[in-house]
Chain A
Amino acid sequence: MSIGPPDEDPGPSGAVPVRAVPVRHPGRWASAAVLVVLGAMLVHTLGFSTVLRGGKRVPRFEWGVVGQYLTTGPVLRGLLVTLELSVLAMVVGIILGVLLAVMRLSPNPLMAGTSWLYLWFFRGTPVLVQLLFWYNLSYLYPTFTVGVPFGPGFVHFSANSITPFLAAALGLSLNEGAYMAEIVRAGILSVDEGQAEAASSLGMTRGATLRRIVLPQAMRVIIPPTGNETISMLKTSSLASVITVGELLLAVQNVYSRTYQTIPLLMVASLWYLAVTSVFTVGQTFLERYFGRGSTREPPPGFWTRLRRNLAIRPRNPTVAGAGPTGS
């Protein structure tokens, strides 16, 4: 049986296409109309509305001020620190997370217990508190010593070597490690046991099996929440402004504390956060494609394909819709 669009000649097989009135979707059109109106209102208020300020009519959102500061030196330097901090914290967090997840799944109860304790502590305290804690570490440990445990020390250095940036990186990484550990563990558990068995039957060691067989397959489950964590980290890094790290938020705060143009400068920061998260999202899509190889026969349809399909707009060279291979 074939289902084709109406008003079409019979196919080469001579099958007569089914002629039917397609189901109407008035609800879709109504909701689309509401969204269009709401969208128009949003564009108007953002771009074209004015407000009385000090007896003068001025644009409500001062886009001019936003544009003026968007690419100034201090803002860009702040953005760079934000990027450095987030990327560093994510990289360390992911490494730590893999380590903790493997420990948690280890047959050695001491390993598993240590991992559990770590998670309990770092997930159980607010990250802002942890940042403040690392920032004030010199109160607990004025100097650090490398040496024999309970014995003589060889190298000493002062706690002043912990800069605010280092304290923030430390706090964010250790916290992130705890969350990544659970994500990685879920990924490892999602891989069928038969995979590890097949690898061992080839003579692969536990380590090689984890690296070559289990983790690459776990990546499919690990990547989406990790993308989430990366985007979340980019924004959480703004907490570092509290411990005087000159990242994006502190950079704009420094400006508006002089000029009192609070809202436009917060918009500057938001625009940059949005821009960077957009770039990360695209990167995540590519990573998902790569690690999803072998898992689907066709990549999932993109945004435009879905839109076209929903609006029942026919592609230029018609293929028979819904005639793809069905389940095995």
Chain B
Amino acid sequence: MTDAMVQAEQVGKRFGRLEVLRGIDLTVRTGEVLCLIGPSGSGKSTFLRCVNHLEKVDSGRLSVAGELVGYRESGGKLYELRDREVCRKRAEIGMVFQRFNLFPHMTAVDNVMTGPLRVRHESPTTARERAGGLLARVGLADKADAYPNQLSGGQQQRVAIARALAMSPKLMLFDEPTSALDPELVGDVLDVMRGLADDGMTMIVVTHEMGFAREVADTVVFMDSGLVVESGPPDAVLTHPSHERTRAFLSKVL
């Protein structure tokens, strides 16, 4: 067994006639922080959604922790997984969305408790206790009983991170976590993510925050029109890009 957390080989995905992913090869090692950058429509978010099977892969192989995503291989044949099995695997992968997607009818602490309570069937007391601890970890211990619409965007996103962490995931996916935030709120969210990276969490982060990528990422991957154009350490990709398209993109965002 290798220490690859995510392994993508020639992963392809199409929506109707639109080819969004055209053969992605990519490896994320355990404990690695990988930042996916690239222009909008380049397939970054789609790839992320494939990793926890919110989208079905059309071609190629994609595996998480050594197991295929969405399928079971047996005797050289692929079998589609049942809803319940897909859910079990998703429970081990945390996801944070651009638009937070907190459950608006629940308080912050209830949001964080939902996974442990409804998926892991923990007792309400332990779930609540752990949820309180996680909210403290993202700096929101005093907001446990606030409803999402009483929180700022940055606070909501931090609750969303705590909600994902409550499932003790082995992999965290971030889909443009700061793109919907006012500039002065971005820092708090990035601080929490930085803390996670320091704790050794394996993370794939789709982001436009080049500063964060440079500072926190182990690997930066630049994608364009469904392909990986360039990947490597942040310094190599962001400071000394070897491809013309990477240079053109960076000149616009930096």
Bound together: yes
Q: Is B87 an interface residue when CB atoms closer than 8 A count as contact?
A: yes
B101 adjacent to A202 (CB under 8 Å): no
How far, in angstroms, from A90 to B83 measured CA to CA in the complex?
A: 33
Do the beta carbons of B103 and A203 come within 8 Å of each other? no
Nearest-CB distance from A208 to chain B (Å)?
5
Render A186-207 as a binary contact track against B, CB cut-off 8 A, 1 for contact.
0000001011011111111110
Question: Which of chain A's residues have a CB closer than 8 A to the CB of B205?
Answer: none
- Is the C-beta of A216 less than 8 angstroms from some C-beta in chain B? yes
Do the beta carbons of B91 and A197 come within 8 Å of each other?
no
Identify the stretch in B27-35, B130-138, B145-153, B194-202 within 8 Å (CB) of chain A at 4 or more residues: B145-153
Q: Are A202 and B104 in contact (CB under 8 A)?
A: no
CB within 8 Å: A-B pair count: 81
Beta-carbon contacts under 8 Å, B168-195 to A: none
B148 CB contacts on chain A under 8 angstroms: 294
Indicate whether B115 reaches chain A with its CB closer than 8 angstroms: yes
Q: B88 is contacted by which of A194, A203, A206 (Cβ under 8 Å)? A: A203
B105 touches A202 (CB 8 A): no
Cα A192 to Cα B101 with chains together (Å): 9
Instruction: Report the interface size class on chain B.
Output: 20 to 34
Please report the total number of A residues contacting B with Cβ < 8 Å: 24
- Contact of B91 with A203 in the complex, beta carbons under 8 Å: yes
Contacts of A308 in B (CB 8 A): none
Q: Find the residue from B104, B107, B164, B167 having the highest chain A CB count within 10 A.
A: B104
Which stretch (B17-25, B92-100, B213-221, B229-237) binds chain A?
B92-100
Q: Smallest distance from the beta carbon of B165 to chain A beta carbons, Å?
A: 11
Complex A-B: 18 CB contacts under 8 Å: A194-B97, A198-B97, A198-B103, A201-B94, A201-B164, A202-B163, A203-B88, A203-B90, A204-B87, A205-B83, A212-B114, A213-B103, A216-B105, A217-B103, A293-B147, A294-B104, A294-B107, A295-B105
Query: Which 6 pairs between the two chains have the least Cβ-Cβ distance?
Result: A203-B91, A198-B101, A294-B147, A201-B95, A194-B101, A202-B115
